[in-house]
A = this chain, B = another copy of it.
């Protein structure tokens, strides 16, 4: 496959990366590198990694089979959670598996991987430079693989049967999920969790098993409802995530933090992962339905008792109230008549278009945030170092002036030297800054990217339900069926609609609060940053008062 370079990319030295220039033609050797990287060879025969988003496939009429990789459900996307060569071993290992080699699974360093020669040097996902809003059909559109079969899961799990009343299920009241009308007329929401609680994740611990052959990170979770700390590994989160996805057809389960290449900055990496998991956990806690689910409670409350853990695990895995069956548990508010089809269509249509626009804009802002983070630590920092170096050279020259006994000469020198140090220090501020502004912004955007990817599938599920309602309405109009059977179909279809609307409502409320908080946090940190630069400069300016 040959691709054309859209945007220049500079390789980090000794990273296995390949510098590419706009309009250059590359031959792609590997697309399964992961993390948004591809491996390719340029026309000078140099081979290395580059960001997949920086290139576009060469469209040749004679090559209609040219793949648009991310558009195919089975291809590996940049945010794929599937098994790849690139995962940290700790993230892949199975509970019951034996350590298959003597190499420590905890070893994050690239040398632990056979594919090490092509390991990108940066911990950050690649920057996809986009000058405009990416269209949904562009390869930039990343997809979480697990959600691809959501619709067919719905069908398979009996969605159609549910609507048509072919299958019935008696649900215990303790599992009821209530929908209520919200303050705003004509809108619906999940009934709030009567016992909301928070969960804190403490500093993770490195633990090991198999006599030290396997080691992993254990996160310590403390729900304030119990106050009892439980220890969870990433794979437990992963398992929980899968259960939640299976169970809640109308809820976009937030994605877990990406798999990342690490090995460097281990401490920072682990702390960042902790913050991301904390945010994920907070999102579950805030969700009226997820936070009350049995599997979540099991995850939070089961202690070190392995038997209890396994039985809860099996129970969750055998849960009947998953996929479409969960609708049997949904209790809609009392309604005088069935929902107006045209109104629902309009609402869903609007939301669908909104999701698409928000998806585009979140991706664009994410790319920008990642790009800025990279630039702060690289080019920006280097610019300040250059200024510092130039001033240092001047001060060195002045120290050589031979103007003996001239106090102002010495004071000037000292001041210029200090100014040089100040610019070097400002450069370091730039390196640190993304941790405080663009980094946290990237994290929240990443969470939204995940949820936004799932929404189209949820809306598809809804469309399936409302189409059944429409079909039966038509059959009724044609006198093919009676009022009674239509009323039941309408009622069940409305349960799907109301569930979807309740989730949309939750999503919108969350979105407003999340983006308000994110922007406030971001701007506050930016202000502190620029003020801190000014403060540094003020201090050095003082030295020129002689």
Contact = CB atoms under 8 A, between A and B. Distances in A.
B351 A402 contact: yes
A184 interface: yes
B394 A350 contact: no
A400 B365 contact: no
Interface in A162-194: 184
Contact of A347 (B402, B526, B541): B402
Contacts of A365: 390-391, 393-394
B406 A361 contact: no
A383 interface: yes
A242 interface: no
B400 A387 contact: no
Contacts of A396: 357, 361
Contacts of A405: 184
B372 A387 contact: yes
Given A396-B357, A402-B354, A408 B523 contact: no
Contacts of A394: 358, 361-362, 364-365, 515
Nearest to A422: B523
Contacts of A401: 354, 358, 508, 511
A443 interface: no
A397 B357 contact: yes
A520 interface: yes
Contacts of A476: none
A403 interface: yes
A515 to B, nearest CB: 6
Contacts of A415: 516, 519
A228 interface: no
A546 B512 CA distance: 11
Contact of A512 (B368, B375, B406, B538): B406
A393 B133 contact: yes
Interface in A385-425: 386-387, 389-391, 393-394, 396-398, 400-406, 408-409, 412, 415-416, 419
Given A357-B400, A375-B383, A383-B372, A527 B538 contact: yes
A282 interface: no
A56 interface: no
Prevailing SS type, chain A contact patch: helix
B403 A508 contact: yes
A239 interface: no
Contacts of A526: 534, 537
A379 B379 CA distance: 10
Interface in A345-374: 347, 350-351, 353-354, 357-358, 360-362, 364-365, 367-369, 371-372
Given A364-B389, A520-B541, A524-B541, 16 more contacts: A21-B21, A133-B393, A354-B400, A357-B396, A361-B394, A365-B391, A365-B393, A367-B390, A372-B387, A401-B508, A401-B511, A408-B516, A409-B512, A415-B516, A527-B538, A530-B534
Interface of A: 21, 133, 184, 347, 350-351, 353-354, 357-358, 360-362, 364-365, 367-369, 371-372, 375, 379, 383, 386-387, 389-391, 393-394, 396-398, 400-406, 408-409, 412, 415-416, 419, 508, 511-512, 515-516, 519-520, 523-524, 526-527, 530-531, 533-534, 537-538, 540-541, 544, 546
26 contacts: A354-B397, A358-B394, A358-B397, A361-B393, A361-B394, A364-B390, A364-B393, A367-B390, A368-B386, A368-B387, A372-B387, A398-B515, A401-B508, A403-B508, A406-B508, A406-B512, A412-B516, A412-B519, A416-B519, A419-B519, A516-B544, A519-B544, A523-B537, A526-B537, A527-B537, A531-B534
Minimum-distance CB pairs A-B, first 8 = A357-B397, A350-B402, A530-B534, A368-B390, A361-B393, A361-B397, A365-B390, A523-B541
